[in-house]
Structure 1
Amino acid sequence: MPYLIESIEWRLFQELGRLLKARLRRGPPSEDIGRPLQAELFEVELRQAFMVYDVSEKLNQNKYDEFQESLKRLCLLLNDLARPPIVDGGPVAHAYPALDALAKHLELFPGQVDLATGFDDPLFQLPETEDELNAPMSSIPDICEDLRQQMGQGKSLTLLVKEYGLFGTWGAPIGPVKGMSSKESLHQLIMEGAFKPLDFNTLLSGAPPAKFSTRAKRELAVKLGFCLMDFFDADLASKQIYFLNYSNSRPRKEPPYLAFNSKPPPSSDPYNFGMGHPALLSFAKLLLELDFGEVIDLSISPHNSKNSEAYVKLMVIVERLEQERSDSTATDSLNRWFAELANMNAVVRVKPGERDSGSPHIRIAILDTGIENQCLNGIKEYEDFVDRRNESPLDSNGHGTNIFSLLRKVCDDADFFIGRVWEGTKATPDTPLLMEEAIDYARKVWKVDIIVLSSGFQTAKKSVGEAIERANMARILTFASPSNYGNMGDLYYPGRLYGHGKVICLFSTNSMVKSSTTKTFNPSPLDTAAHRTFAILGEDIFLENLREPLNGTSYSTAIGAGIAARILDFSRHPRFRDKLENIDDLWKVEGMLAVFGRMAKRTDNGYRCMAPWVICPRAEEGMERREARERQQSAVVDVLRNALKDIDRA
């Protein structure tokens, strides 16, 4: 399943949309009454095209190919119509040099701009003929006549109202609601994630068009309560509830309204308010959908006597909600942890347009139980060391898949290489030799920067240690987990090699950046390696599509490796790499630990607990976004430079 981010055209449109968002002049596109209506229409179309849309990152192959084909045609058309000032930006790696030059111009020179109309030189020229314009929106001089012509054809009308005219387009209805755009309905907002908590997954996939806070959700629930009192025998399903003055920029402030139709009322006995009354059940279902942020699949009959099962199901959902609320503090702190990390990532991330030949993506090898077939997006290569005849992805217990998912959550733009070394949860006599082979393969063939070993052995394995030594000589960082059995046994091998500075071994903290008081899997650190004993989040981590949270030093090891990948990637940034002396030391254990030392402000029970974002100062209030990011990046450069100077006292 491809990602939209893989599309050059999609990235180009998103970048241009971001740059144009605050730069376009407000009001009607032109004060020039002599300009034809086609110019106005073209301006509208351009503004629509460059809106930054928040959509799902993943599409199936057919939809991706169809969407990509449309994007290519649109980019080719706009590239021919673009009139960017001459910008010396070097060679362009795609077929849209004019659009690329336009993006560079907008990045370098501030100020308002005109798209196709206006007194200043516009960025795009108007097509010479109406055939070239080919605008899907058309002016509606007589809306009543237009409605009569379309009556009975099963189409839905979308209107765009501007000071200089009324425009509309006809299309097939979306979903079961006719004559009303489902984009404006409460149901669509729920589907878009407007009511889900803002967490790291939401940030990765892009924020929804509107986001309701807890307070806003409660205000909406009260408004819907008034709807229930006024229209107790109406259909209160989310698909029938709309908002006036729909706007993508903020949650609804105005009262919602109900869309009525000529169907029979939802209850055959409206005045018998028993436990199965369909209006009350529908309202309870609606409130739960707002709270969960997702649609609940529940069939409610118009007959009270037939709703016993629906009532019981709702009670089960309420009980589940109460259980989740009891752990809401932990969930909130986890969301905050990943939100803080996302803020740091926004600063240190190297954008696609900022890379050059000296800043390739960081390469990470995960040597574990393999990977499930549906998680192949983002994987560069897969190798099965357990069974070399097997070319299909395989993960017998999901551990390797979870490690990959968590790593990608922390550093989504790395290149990942997956090696299946473990056949199951326990080592076989062949596992040490397979791990040695896989480590050497990652070094010689994949040429990775980081190797992740989120598992280990109870006894030392000489061949594995020697392979790690060879990786160290090649400037490859190896991350190895300590174990998950407290002090019931020794630290796993090769994780215990952290005492000798051979690997990076990360213990676990909770989302409050403290050693846990409720979990007991963390082993005690080595007394002789206090300065190398670092810990990071490894407790109660929720991943999408998993029912149970992840717990263990395997996952703290994965998160730590992802943080290291972010630091290595940022150090190659073309603007900053020359400012870092001894930059190659970041690919040494002691060099990366020196940086980790700047992230660990507190020691708790012998663990140096890491909060990675502390190396990135918060943006000053009121500062322009680009300037704030540059200042934050400079501060991170200073942290790395000072850490590398003080490498021996990390």
Structure 2
Amino acid sequence: MFTFYGEAEETQQGLRQRRDVLYKKVVSRLKDLLEGTKWMEQLTNNWIDPLNTSIKKSAVQQIKQHSFNDGLWGQQDNKKTKKTRAKDDNDEKEAMKWLSRMQKLSGILSATPGHSTRRVRIAILDTGCDDDSPFFHLPSNISRLKGWKDYVDGSEERVDKHGHGTHLISLIMDIATDADVYIARVAEDATGLSTASENVAKAIDWASKEWKANIITMSFGYTEEQQCISNAILNALNDSHGSILFFAAASNSGSNQVEMFPARHASVISIRATNADGQYESFNPPRSDNDTVTFGTLGLKVPGAWLSDHIGKKCQTGTSVATAIAAATAALLIGYINRIEVGASSDFILQNVKRKINTHRGMLALLKALSTGTLNQHSLYLTAWQLLDKSEDERWIKIAGAVADV
């Protein structure tokens, strides 16, 4: 066993040896573990670096200086400058405006005359749900929680001990106001994700077979492919004849890391994060070689529900937040298209469109048509609210045209 503390009389060589042992046996292994299995918002840029022997501080003090600020998934450092706090406040205000625009679109599309025989079903694989949170005190919200499966503790009651899942669920429900929500708790927190791949695979299987989900969203990732998850995705696609959509968060490590799995899976729609003006954030990963385009949406300082012991909403940043918003947008569009009614002469076209938008290729085509270009080449920004200014006929033409060649 080695000690963390150095003596004042130790030579530079002794300090260097202790530093190297500490980094090799503790810090490096911890870093590899966290990089290998993590939820998207867990990481910051403050990775623990090898100790500097010129600074006369203990190893424990060094580690504390370089560790995460306030925990997992982008929780904020309390020691912020006034300038930084002002920027955060502005980013939050802009995010609220952005969400208001999407909620306006949701209200209009949901009020479209017509009838759908089946509501859209979206399955959220995450840390669970705290239904004691004030968000779920509204009957219109709690009544839309239709399914629950706990792969962590086997609880029959909905539970979330972290808050990440609760936050994402509230975002999805605020945008896709007509969708029903099904929740699979696959891990308690980021640490639990390291052994959760089988839970994720089982949840995908359950969501597709038992819940008959239209959309499965996963705001987490692994550096390496998890074969059991890949198998579950392919089985779900086969069972549904390709009529199920998967969304996953790309990564929050910038160009230091490639796109995470399952986001880089060929049958999964990978989502990156932008600010409220559509600018891609620096923590997004580079585009994969096999990606012709990438999709991004709001993922900066996004307010949403949190655990019941937290007063008010909580802002979160990252591709996991953006993924929830993108999945909700897809659910909103599917629900709208399912309600569209056309004349008998166009009924064949309508049924064809409804079939296509539930497939991977069809949804990619629709999202592309409802996106705008950015300063980043091949990077698109989802702007579904462009449908706000269109008549019913214009919306139908836009959507039908988007998937015509799929």
Fold conserved between structures, TM > 0.5: yes
Partner SS for 2:302 = coil
What is the correspondence of 1:556-595 to structure 2 with a 5 Å cutoff?
Answer: 556-576=322-342, 578=347, 580=350, 581-595=352-366
* Partner residue in 1 for 2:158: 393
2:303 matched residue in structure 1: 542
Separation in 2, partners of 1:365, 1:583 = 20
Whether 1:635 aligns to 2:386 is no
**Residues 196-226 of structure 1 deviation map (CA, whole Å, 9 limit, x = unaligned):** xxxxxxxxxxxxxxxxxxxxxxxxxxxxxxx
Aligned pair in 2 of structure 1 residues 429, 332: CA closer, same or farther (>3 Å)? Answer: closer
2:116 corresponds to 1:345: no
In structure 2, the partner of 1:508 is 273
Aligned pairs for 1:448-527 within 5 A:
448-473=213-238, 474=240, 475-497=243-265, 500=266, 502-516=267-281, 520-527=282-289
Q: How many aligned residue pairs are there?
A: 304
Check the 8 A contact 1:449/1:477 in 2, yes or no.
Answer: yes
Quote the residue 1:164 is aligned against: none
Within 5 Å, give how 1:138-217 maps onto structure 2.
none
Q: Which residue of 2 aligns with 1:381?
A: 147
* Aligned-partner SS, 1:446: coil
Distance in structure 2 (CA, Å) of the matches to 1:582 and 1:633: 16
Structure 2 letter corresponding to 1:646: D
Q: CA deviation at 1:604?
A: 2.9
Q: Say whether residues 1:604 and 2:372 are aligned partners.
A: no
The answer to whether the 8 A contact 2:250-2:264 is kept is: yes
Deviation string 1:284-314 (CA, Å, 9 cap, x unpaired) is xxxxxxxxxxxxxxxxxxxxxxxxxxxxxxx
**Counterpart in 1 of 2:386?**
614
Following the alignment from structure 1 to structure 2, what is the Cα–Cα distance between the partners of residues 323 and 437? 42
CA distance in 1, matches of 2:82, 2:109: 37
Question: Residues 616 and 633 of structure 1 are in contact (CA less than 8 Å); yes or no, is this contact kept in structure 2?
Answer: no
Q: Which stretches in structure 1 are left out of the alignment for 5+ residues?
A: 1-319, 619-631
- The residue type paired with residue 262 of structure 2 is P
Would the aligned equivalents of 2:173 and 2:179 in 1 still touch at CA under 8 Å?
Answer: yes
* SS of alignment partner, residue 389 of structure 2: coil
1:413 CA displacement: 2.2
- Would the alpha carbon gap of residues 645 and 416 (structure 1) be closer, same or farther in structure 2, given more than 3 Å must change? same
Shift of residue 550, structure 1, vs aligned partner: 0.9
Alignment of 1:306-321 (within 5 A): none
Q: What is the CA distance between 1:331 and its match in structure 2?
A: 4.2
Whether the aligned pair in 1 keeps the contact of 2:150 and 2:184 (CA below 8 Å) is: yes
The letter for the 1-side match of 2:122 is: I
Does 1:644 pair with 2:397? no
Report the Cα offset of residue 355 of structure 1: 5.4
Asked if 2 retains the 8 angstrom alpha-carbon contact of 1:347 and 1:633, the reply is no
- Runs (5+) with no aligned partner, structure 2: 1-80, 137-141, 306-310
Matched, 1:423 2:199: no
Tell me the amino acid that sits aligned with residue 336 of structure 1.
Answer: K
For residue 221 of structure 2, give the secondary structure of its aligned residue in structure 1.
Answer: coil
Cα gap change, 1:427/1:331 in structure 2, threshold over 3 Å: closer, same or farther?
closer
Structure number with greater Rg is 1
What letter matches 2:299 in structure 1?
A: G
Q: Distance in 1 between matches of 2:253 and 2:312?
A: 23
2:323 matched to 1:552? no
Q: Take 2:328 and 2:277, find their aligned partners in 1: how far apart are those partners?
A: 19
Once the two structures are aligned, what percentage of the paired residues are identical?
A: 28
Cα RMSD of the aligned pairs, angstroms, is 2.5
Q: 1:530 aligns with which of 292, 299, 302?
A: 292
Establish whether residue 367 from structure 1 lines up as the match of residue 125 from structure 2: yes
Aligned-pair distance for 1:341? 1.7
Distance of 1:550 and 1:611 partners within structure 2: 20
Query: Closer, same or farther in 2 for the Cα pair 1:372/1:641, shift >3 Å?
Result: same
Deviation at 1:432, TM superposition (A): 1.1
Partners of 1:366 and 1:547 in 2: CA distance? 20
How much has 1:396 moved relative to structure 2? Answer: 2.1
CA distance in 1, matches of 2:158, 2:123: 15
Whichever residue aligns with residue 550 of structure 1, its letter is: Q
| Deviation of the 1:451 alpha carbon | 0.4
> In the alignment, is the contact (CA less than 8 A) between 1:359 and 1:569 conserved in 2?
no
AA aligned opposite 2:179? A
Q: Which amino acid aligns with 1:613?
A: W
Q: Give the Cα–Cα distance (whole angstroms) in 1 for the partners of residues 129 and 256 of structure 2.
A: 30
Taking the aligned partners of 2:212 and 2:117, their CA distance within structure 1 comes to: 15
Query: Is the Cα–Cα contact under 8 Å of residues 598 and 615 in structure 1 kept in the other structure?
Result: no
**The residue matched to 1:601 in structure 2 has which SS?**
strand
CA distance in 1, matches of 2:183, 2:248: 16
CA deviation after TM superposition for structure 1 residue 461, in Å = 0.8
Determine helix, strand or coil for the equivalent of 1:604: coil
Rounded to whole Å, the distance in 2 between the matches of 1:637 and 1:612 is 14
Displacement, 1:428? 5.0
- Per-residue CA deviations over 1:440-461 (Å, capped at 9, x if unaligned) read 0001111111101111222111
CA spacing shift, 1:359–1:637, aligned 2, 3 Å? farther
Report the CA distance between 1:471 and its aligned residue. 2.2
- Measured against aligned partners, the alpha-carbon deviations of 1:336-363 in whole angstroms (never above 9, x if no partner) come to 3223223322331146xx554x432111
CA change 1:384–1:642 in 2 (3 A) is same
The structure with the largest strand share of the pair is 2
- Gap change, CA 1:419 and 1:611, over 3 Å in 2: same
Higher relative contact order (CA 8 A, sep 6+): 2
Whole-Å Cα distance in 1 between the matches of residues 170 and 178 of structure 2?
Answer: 12
Q: TM-score, normalised by structure 2?
A: 0.69
